[in-house]
Amino acid sequence: MHRTPRRLLLLAAAAVAAGLPAPLAAQQVDIQRATTFIQTTGDQLVAAINGRGAVAQRREQVAQVLRRAVDVEGVGRFILGRWWRSATPEQQQEYLQLFEQVLIRNLSARFGEFQGVRFSLGRTQARTEEDALVNTVIERPGNPAFSLDWRVAEIGGQPKIVDVIAEGTSLRLTTRSEYSSVVTRNGGNVAALLAAMRQQIQQLAAREAS
């Protein structure tokens, strides 16, 4: 479950690991609405990261943004894939809780690395009738700029980030493959993934406190 700094930013900022909800939940996407949504969400995340408040305060600000911007249940269920059906209801509930914490902690543990982050909007284009790709350019002091495509759909009447794509790579598909590998290596035991996620959160919390 190793993460590079760039992929950590993708996962935490969005939204990244985001998964598509059931097809019937999506509606026709409004290009301008999708663009405005990414602008607002990005501004809120940048403000939290670059803020002068305590880490715990900024972490809570990030959590609020991500909960509004991402369908965490849809994300988590897509990424767990076929193993969702083999998990018990208790495991499903814990998994979704842990998944949300992974998203939040991946960013809050790296506030120092991302200090001074900025972004600018690029082109927005319809991907299908149901979703659009909003391009942004991410800049961090002392690091080369890179491009992120945010996949946005209308879910339940609200725009939501349903994937983050960097250099042609879908984060939701990559994370799904990694989580599936953990479960497969442990004989199809979802509990092994939950244990790995708990350990990851503990490591990130320790890093945040250091």
| Alpha helices, H only, the chain | 5-10, 31-50, 55-69, 72-80, 83-86, 89-108, 111-114, 171-185, 190-209
Q: Give all domains of the chain, ordered by start, each with its CATH number.
A: 5-209 (3.10.450.710)
pLDDT in tens, 93-126: 999 999 999 989 988 988 888 889 999 999 999 8
pLDDT in tens, 39-75: 999 999 999 999 988 999 999 999 999 999 988 888 8
CB 102, CB 201: distance < 8 Å = yes
CB 38, CB 136: distance < 8 Å = yes
